[in-house]
Structure 1
């Protein structure tokens, strides 16, 4: 029994980086699960947890087999958190009572047991599953819990010159940074979240030359913008903190200090409360409604996801 426990411990040792196995510095590699884990301690609803993992290029982890169950339990214990439960990817959102992982594995195939008194389907409204002390329980998906993301190691995971496995980021020699155009429109806050999850930030314009670069990226991707999305502007990394006329980048400096404050004619006009920043196809700046959606460009330095 002691030998078995010792071998078990060896199998579940985690390392922040493994030679030849790189994903991003904030994920820990598990040899046993052959993939990377990240525990998000800031609680979220199930949907927001799923979305954050998805934006980071991973999935909401589920104990779909023995190896994953052991690895998840070990990682949770290693973090020594005071929380007693965390979200898994197991849910019945598509069909009440039919639980599947986000990969499509049915719950009866998983090596898990219900906690005492579970499932209780309280108020007939518990479609998501948490892991608690090695067992599972059903909860309301709008409740907030910590959660664990997982990225399986596959042959197509290749670290690019942009310091990411996301092949859509392209290096630009003008700035030495990498850029990615998102053709699906999102609100300013959701765009900010998307870039942050990818290890980047909403693009900041530092010079007239960079404005022309963003215009070039905008033009090249214009045909890819999804139907129903506002094609007139792209969202960029500036705002006025709901204080008219005090336009700053997401890095805290004024746009004048940053090096580019070329507004389109008649802008900023603050039409019905436009507090977020955008850019027209001309390369000129625009103030935009924060809740309205538009395409956007993320910008990242090549080392933003590498070990500090």
Structure 2
């Protein structure tokens, strides 16, 4: 009898570290996300683009756990002490990470002799994470290694909170704000109270970026529900106050003040007294290709937009 022997090679996967869809990402439970070290050096914009192409962001030490893991990855990835790019750079003179957290939220502190602006020569300023876990200034055109960070996403209807009301809101990742389109038509005052009852406020849509964000959410909502509202005009959170003769937001800010956020473009608005004191409440057309603020009668009934910060944001107003 002839006996044939077969050798079977079995591949047994190792589950010591989970990996995301992109090669070489490692999952860290304490971060609820993945990290990947890129040893190929790039300028800041190139590093930012690389992470975006991997559905991630350029990592910043915004928490102590994230700081420690970025330090560990850098130490283990190089034979000599090496500084890497963070996602923090200057915007209008202030430091913010790519996910819009101010430098005060960073777990890392300035290194010795930092910030040092002498070597930057007036160019854009980006921040490095040094081997000892401190921050240093750098010219954004310089090339450095970097770490990409990919956070585990919650289901879409849980990104604004766990309650039934929270689940009616939708998160815009760029503005870090949660929005809800209220289809029931109400007067401006009633719309304001409706938002406040949900621990939100009438939307402060005063920049083009925010207007485009809510337009995208609105369009997706209409497609999902296969419905069409009677009007595209929605109340938002500003009006003319006769006692102070000024257009103010529900937070008491002027429109230009409310429109400021890093490098975003304010929506043009004519700050003039209304011809009719009844037509004095703020609105916006959520379907317009060119976002424009408008004013309508405060007593007319329109749908509205409520807004609140994402759960991981502390500030109420931009």
TM-score range (shorter-chain normalised) is 0.3 to 0.5
In the superposition, the TM-score normalised over structure 2's length comes to 0.41
Could you say which structure has the larger radius of gyration? 2
